[in-house]
Amino acid sequence: MTPASGPGGSTRVPVSVPGLRERKQGGDRIVALTCYDAGFATCLESASIDLALVGDSLGMVVQGRASTLAVTLDDIVYHSRAVARGLDATLLVADMPFMSYRDVPTALATATRLMAEGDAAMVKLEGADWVLEIIDALARRHIPVCAHLGLTPQSVHRFGGFRVQGRSSVDAERLLADARAVADAGADLLVLECMPAELAAQITRAIAIPTIGIGAGAACDGQILVLHDVLGVTPGRRPRFTRDFLAGSGSVIAALAAYRDAVRSGEFPSAEHAY
């Protein structure tokens, strides 16, 4: 594979969807961050971050809303297209917002816009159950899919708030079964959010596709955080599983590099960031 010429003149081998599974097999941790604009995308590229997610978290950290539910497909397409302009080798993933994959035709139309207009290389959706049909339909059309289990923010009202999932044995068994099901349906990647570290470790061992943790312990195949949390600019109380990497770093790129190195070495997340 030909290396990409990065914004700073350096060269990197582009991160690919098949390459993510190779990372899992080789024990090479995947480093991911959310991103919402071209300027910060350039910083992610310069820090050699593997994966940039244009998350519907932008509804909270960019738009100032209380949840992700009001984020529209137009919002994600706009921000994804902007982020793409700052990336070369970093893989771009875009969220499918609330109700934008409610059935197969809608999901296909959404994925088409995210990839054709937003320049995303992969789309992300939440849940299992009826979502398995959507994952299968996307995968059969060669659209790379990132699944998302545990605390799925689009289901915040059903959960009664942003709460850790999978604490009971029944819930843990369900999440393990769901993880196997989304992998079997054709997902290429799986985000595990806010669940006990041992459950995330069990899921990571049980499936062939890579897992990316956020508040799910250190045993996942990679980690993702919201960019604003990494830079310490999130207003109010930050989630337990986050860490301010900008403090003492001297620059944004240095902070992102510190996060990258901490994930790859296994130093982050530590026990204090886990459930």
Active site residues: 193
Cross-strand partners of 33: 52, 225
The DSSP letter of residue 270 is: -
CA torsion angle 226 101 222 27 (round to 10): -170
| Ramachandran quadrant class, 244 (left: phi over 0; alpha: psi -120 to 50; beta: rest) | beta
Burial of 143 (0-12, 13-18, 19+ CB in 10 A): buried
36-66 CB burial, b ≥16 within 10 A, e <16: bbbebbbbbbbbbbbbbbbbbbbbbbbeeee
Cross-strand partners of 91: 51
- In angstroms, the CA 218 to CA 215 distance is 9
